[in-house]
Amino acid sequence: MNGSEGTIMVLVATRKGAWFFHSDTARRTWRVEGPQLLGQIVSHAVLDPRDGRTLLAAARTGHLGPTLFRSTDLGRHWSEAVQPPAFARAPQGTAGRTVDHTFWLTPAPAGEPGCWYAGTSPQGLFRSTDGGVHWTPFSCLNDDPQYIRWMGTVQDGTPDGPKLHSIIIDPRDPAHLYIGMSGGGVHESRDAGRSFAPLLNGLEVVEGFDRADPSFHDPHCIRMCPSAPDRLYQQNHCGVYRLDRPGDEWVRIGRNVPAEVGDIGFPLVVHPRDAERAWIFPMDGTDVWPRTSPGGRPAVYGTRDGGASWQRLDRGLPPQQAWWTVKRQSMCADGLDPLGLYFGTTSGELWTSADEGEHWQCIARHLPEILAVETGHPSAAAT
């Protein structure tokens, strides 16, 4: 852990700005700091784990074009990116694509300080090597006619627009990348993003559509296990899956979630030290997709055996009439021992568990709709 002894920071990105929550490793009391960037639609806010002081926040307002805000003093001062993620200018006479907002931020592994990846809506992949000040596009993906066809149109995407997300860098090999596109499927690169290939075997699609066509695949959230980077978990539009490399066949482990709850949802969290453990937040994905907790009774489900079985974890959560849910970036873990889990709701509540999901506590209410929750460990120099 690269951070000062005993401090934890939870970064909550919302539709109206960002809020930061601070605590010590006991995680019994929290100090709130915010709002930050009030009025900005903040899709993702991430503290750089490599230096514990650089914050990036992907933002746009309803009026101006998108940008990325950057702070090197934990949010006391912010400045906008000099060159935010933007697609290449299209040839004369063609429409070209425009970035509506940056959706996802991933810092590169420790061996590449200052390097970040960003995923946008509509789907685009970008990289910065100067801590988020300048961003350059991955043309092989963003401008490739085949990939653009697989990305589909705005009509094929999620309500807030189609997205590129779940940018995963293999900590053993920074040239090995995974990405997810909603829609467009899961893709892998082994040459630092110069080329990508679909990784879709075993994944289901909505009934009646062609599984072989990446256009019809909709991964919601993909996570690599830090303790076993050959293991990936995925929450998909069509269930929860696991993939163990070098295999290429996803296995639907969500079939083992109780059928009355189902395995549809958006976020997925993996344990940083135990690849058998993961957590999901099922939602109602029946009928017209209400995107609420099933039956109005929210619960986290956790597995201790790689998805062979799942346990309901709802102690402390509302027992009934709670119709919120959790977006794909709004659930995370803190890396401490015992592991802390966190999720933010569409109704603006922040929930925490300091005992790996056994008990839950609400530490903030009445925030705007929560779009992302991340944890970080500020460096002693930054606090």
Partner 1 sequence: MKVLIPTPLLSYTGVREVDAEGATLDAVLTDLDRRYPGIRFRVIDEQGRLRRHVRFFADGGQIFDPAHPLRADDTLVLVQALSGG
Quick one: DSSP state of residue 140? H
User: Is 304 buried (19+), middle (13-18) or exposed (0-12) by CB count in 10 A?
Assistant: middle
Q: Which window, 60-68, 226-234, 295-303, 307-315, contacts partner 1 (CB under 8 A)?
A: 60-68
Tell me if 98 contacts partner 1 by CB under 8 A: yes
Interface with partner 1 (CB under 8 A), residue from 80, 112, 191, 305: 80
Side chain identity at 168, as an amino acid letter?
I
Distance of CA 320 to the CA centre of its chain: 27
Shortest gap between Cβ of 206 and partner 1 (angstroms)? 32
- Compare residues 134 and 190 and give the one whose CB is closer to partner 1: 134
| Beta bridge partner(s), residue 239 | 236
Determine, following the binding rule CB under 8 A, whether residue 38 of this chain makes contact with partner 1. Answer: no
Q: Does 84 bind partner 1 (CB under 8 A)?
A: yes
Shortest distance, CB of residue 45 to partner 1, whole angstroms? 17
Nearest CA-CA partner of 119 in 87, 78, 83 = 87
In which residue are the tokens 């209400």 written? Answer: 290
Cα 21 vs. chain centroid, distance in angstroms?
Answer: 19
Cis, bond preceding 91 (omega within 30 deg of 0): no
Residue 31 near partner 1 by CB under 8 A = no
Cβ closest to partner 1, residue 38 vs residue 308: 38
Which positions from 310 to 339 touch partner 1 by CB under 8 A, shown as an x/- string? ------------------------------
307 contact partners, CB below 8 Å, separation of at least 6: 233, 240, 242, 251, 253, 254, 256, 278
Other CB atoms within 10 Å distance of the CB of residue 145: 7
Determine, following the binding rule CB under 8 A, whether residue 86 of this chain makes contact with partner 1: yes
Q: Select the residue interacting with partner 1 from 64, 197, 259, 288 (CB under 8 A).
A: 64
Residue 41 has phi, psi (to 5 degrees) of -80, 105
Q: Binding of partner 1 at residue 63 (CB under 8 A)?
A: yes
One residue of 28, 31, 89, 366 binding partner 1 per CB under 8 A: 89
Q: Is 164 in the site for partner 1 (CB under 8 A)?
A: no
Q: Among all chains, which residue has been given the structure tokens 């307002």?
A: 61
Q: Give the sign of the dihedral formed by CA 374, CA 330, CA 237, CA 312.
A: positive
**Exposed (0-12), middle (13-18) or buried (19+): which is 22, by Cβ within 10 Å?**
middle
* Contact window for partner 1 (CB under 8 A) among 63-71, 104-112, 170-178, 182-190: 63-71
**Per CB under 8 A, which of residues 186..215 are in contact with partner 1?**
none
How many residues touch partner 1 under the rule CB under 8 A: the total is 24
Among 18, 99, 203, 373, binds partner 1 (CB under 8 A): 99
Work out which of 1, 26, 38, 82 binds partner 1, going by CB under 8 A: 82
Nearest CB to partner 1, comparing residues 85 and 294: 85
Give the whole-angstrom CA distance, residue 95 versus residue 91.
Answer: 8
Residue 300: CB minimum distance to partner 1, A: 34
Residues in the chain: 383
Q: Shortest approach of partner 1 to residue 187 CB, angstroms?
A: 23
Binding of partner 1 at residue 57 (CB under 8 A)? Answer: no
Site residues (vs partner 1, CB under 8 A): 61-67, 78-84, 86-90, 95-99
